[in-house]
């Protein structure tokens, strides 16, 4: 394969490489070819090179498996059979012309609808430039997390773990990253009563957090605004947390008669030390983005006016890194603690199930709902 074509096709058109190589080798050989993928195809060749082009069926011994260049040429020649050179040349021109059109169209910004993955009610999930973005999409409700959103985030993470993206991003639409649990999570009681509700909620929470613990790719939080509750506690399971300077971080568990979740009872003391973790998880101290960064929960803080531009420029650069290397590095960093994190998650979920059934918790939630109703 000529050097210029090899670079262009491998980078932009890997699926076309197998079709392009046989036709190309029939017409041109050596390193003299110069292809420009634009509105026209330009090729420079030397008449002597045409004379060296292969003719007729492949009649030479197959090179050894480690002779990669000659083996590729032999495979190309063999694949041609008795294809006439003129036909091969025309096939080559048609193929590259088609790639040129594809290049022109792919360089344009696609409409959001073309990149958006369907089937989600509470999320907008897109995949582009090696990045899968999971965006919580209830801006009118401050991206409060319903049971449906919990389930959809799990589905989106499972899909992202298997797609061809290099990194995965969680963010929010609108002014808030997430205001935590939606009030309907506490008021929608099934026929089995509060016991069934507490049991089902604990199972959902455990499964939800397990998805973050087991996620194999680099996971990045883009915290565009205030974050509350579960949206904060799971941040210890992300590789990187970028925050706008408008963001705040609040875990008001004691105010609601509840206890920590998202593995935060383990990750927060490890990240920020037990005293600072206690201020957040026990006493409900709300941190600014700068405070969260100083304590190690946030990786870096950006001015809100340039937040999206700066962060996404950086993420696009990250997405160009070798994806398998990033996965392996994450595995080496995280695997030692996976078993511990799953155990912590199970314990936190079980404790919360008990808390949800306690009079203290029920009274605290009722007082909270009453205050909200008066606003």
pLDDT digits (tens, 9 = 90+) for 310-322: 999 999 999 999 9
Give the residue with greater pLDDT, 50 vs 260: 260
Give the integer Cα–Cα distance in Å for 85 and 137: 56
Stretch 198-225: mean pLDDT, rounded? 97
Determine what percent of the chain is predicted with pLDDT higher than 90: 62
CB within 8 Å of 182: residues ≥ 6 apart: 141, 144, 145, 146, 149
Is the four-CA dihedral 172, 175, 181, 183 of positive or negative sign? negative
Whether 10 has a pLDDT exceeding 60, the answer reads no
Which of 6-10, 92-96, 180-184 is modeled with the greatest confidence?
A: 180-184
Q: Please give the DSSP secondary-structure letter assigned to residue 253.
A: T
Q: Which of 15-29, 89-103, 284-298 has the lowest mean pLDDT?
A: 15-29
- CA-nearest of 235, 244, 108 to 174 is 244
Tokens for 16?
A: 């076309």
Pick 102 or 77 by higher pLDDT: 77
Model confidence at 92: pLDDT above 80? no
Long-range CB contact pairs, 85-91, < 8 A, 24+: 85/26, 85/27, 85/53, 85/55, 88/22, 88/23, 88/26, 88/27, 89/23, 89/26, 89/27, 91/23
Return the SS3 of 181: strand
Q: Averaged over 219-239, what is the pLDDT?
A: 98
The pLDDT, as a whole number, for residue 13 is 45
Give the DSSP letter string of 23-87: HHHHH--SS------SSS------HHHHHHS--SS--SPPPPTT-HHHHHHHHHHHHHTT--HHH
Mean pLDDT throughout 323-336? Answer: 96
* Averaged pLDDT for residues 318-338: 96
Q: How confident is the model at residue 190 (pLDDT cuts 50, 70, 90)?
A: confident
Q: Hey, is 375 helix, strand or coil? A: coil
Residues 31-49: tens digit of each pLDDT = 334 433 333 333 444 444 4
Average per-residue pLDDT for the chain: 82
**Which has more confidence, 3 or 56?**
56
Give the separation between CA 130 and CA 293, rounded to whole angstroms: 27
What is the pTM for the complete model shown?
0.70
- Mean pLDDT across the stretch 212-239? 98
For the stretch 230-253, pLDDT in tens is 999 999 999 999 999 999 999 999
Q: Residues near 320 by Cβ (< 8 Å), separated by ≥ 6?
A: 130, 166
Q: What pLDDT does residue 163 have? A: 96
Local confidence band at 188 (pLDDT 50, 70, 90 cut-offs) = confident
pLDDT at 165 over 80: yes
Can you read off the two tokens belonging to residue 72? 């590729």
* Intra-chain end-to-end CA distance of the chain, in Å: 70
More confident residue, 318 or 375: 318
Structure tokens at 190: 């099934």
Strand ranges (E), 276-365:
287-288, 300-302
Q: Indicate the pLDDT class of residue 72, thresholds 50, 70 and 90.
A: low
Residue 155 has pLDDT above 50, yes or no: yes
> What is the CA 311 to chain-centroid distance, rounded?
14
Provide the pLDDT confidence category of residue 187 given band limits of 50, 70 and 90.
Answer: confident
d(C-alpha 310, C-alpha 299), whole Å: 14
- Per DSSP, the three-state class of 227 is strand
19: pLDDT strictly greater than 70: no
pLDDT score, position 67: 60
Convert the pLDDT of each residue in 114-153 to its tens digit.
Answer: 466 778 999 999 999 999 999 999 999 999 999 999 999 9
Chain centre to alpha carbon of residue 257: 34
pLDDT of residue 222: 98
Rounded Cα distance between 44 and 132, Å, is: 41
What's the confidence (pLDDT) of residue 85?
60
Domains of the chain by range and CATH? 1-33 (no CATH), 37-114 (1.20.80.10), 117-375 (3.90.226.10)
């Amino acid at each position: 394969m000529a050097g210029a074509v090899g670079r262009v096709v491998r980078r932009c058109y890997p699926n076309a490489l197998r079709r392009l190589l046989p036709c190309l080798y029939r017409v041109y050989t050596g390193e003299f070819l110069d292809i420009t993928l634009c509105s026209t195809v330009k090729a420079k060749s030397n008449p002597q090179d045409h004379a060296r082009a292969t003719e007729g069926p492949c009649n030479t011994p197959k090179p050894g498996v480690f002779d990669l260049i000659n083996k590729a040429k032999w495979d190309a020649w063999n694949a041609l059979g008795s294809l006439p050179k003129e036909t091969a040349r025309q096939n080559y021109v048609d193929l590259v012309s088609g790639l040129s059109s594809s290049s022109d169209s792919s360089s344009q910004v696609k409409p959001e609808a073309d990149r958006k993955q369907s089937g989600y009610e509470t999320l907008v999930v897109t995949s582009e430039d090696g990045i899968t973005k999971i965006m919580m999409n209830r801006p009118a409700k401050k991206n409060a997390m319903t049971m449906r959103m919990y389930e959809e985030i799990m589905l989106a993470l499972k899909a992202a773990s298997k797609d061809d993206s290099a990194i995965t991003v969680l963010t929010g639409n609108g002014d808030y990253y997430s205001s935590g649990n939606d009030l309907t999570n506490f008021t929608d009681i099934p026929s089995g009563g509060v016991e069934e509700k507490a049991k089902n909620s604990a199972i959902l929470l455990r499964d939800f957090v397990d998805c973050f613990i087991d996620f194999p790719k680099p996971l990045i939080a883009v915290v565009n605004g205030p974050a509350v509750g579960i949206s904060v506690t799971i941040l210890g399971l992300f590789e990187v947390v970028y925050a706008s300077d408008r963001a705040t971080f609040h875990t008001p568990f004691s105010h609601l008669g509840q206890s920590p979740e998202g593995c935060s009872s383990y990750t927060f003391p490890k990240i920020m030390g037990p005293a600072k973790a206690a201020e957040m998880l026990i006493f409900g101290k709300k941190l600014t983005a700068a405070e969260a960064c100083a304590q190690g929960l946030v990786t870096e803080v950006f001015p809100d006016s340039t937040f999206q531009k700066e962060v996404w420029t950086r993420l696009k650069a990250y997405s160009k890194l070798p994806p398998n290397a990033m996965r392996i590095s994450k595995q080496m960093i995280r695997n030692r603690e996976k078993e511990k994190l799953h155990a912590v998650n199970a314990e936190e979920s079980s404790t919360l199930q008990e808390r949800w059934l306690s009079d203290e918790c029920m009274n605290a939630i009722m007082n909270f709902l009453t205050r909200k109703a008066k606003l």
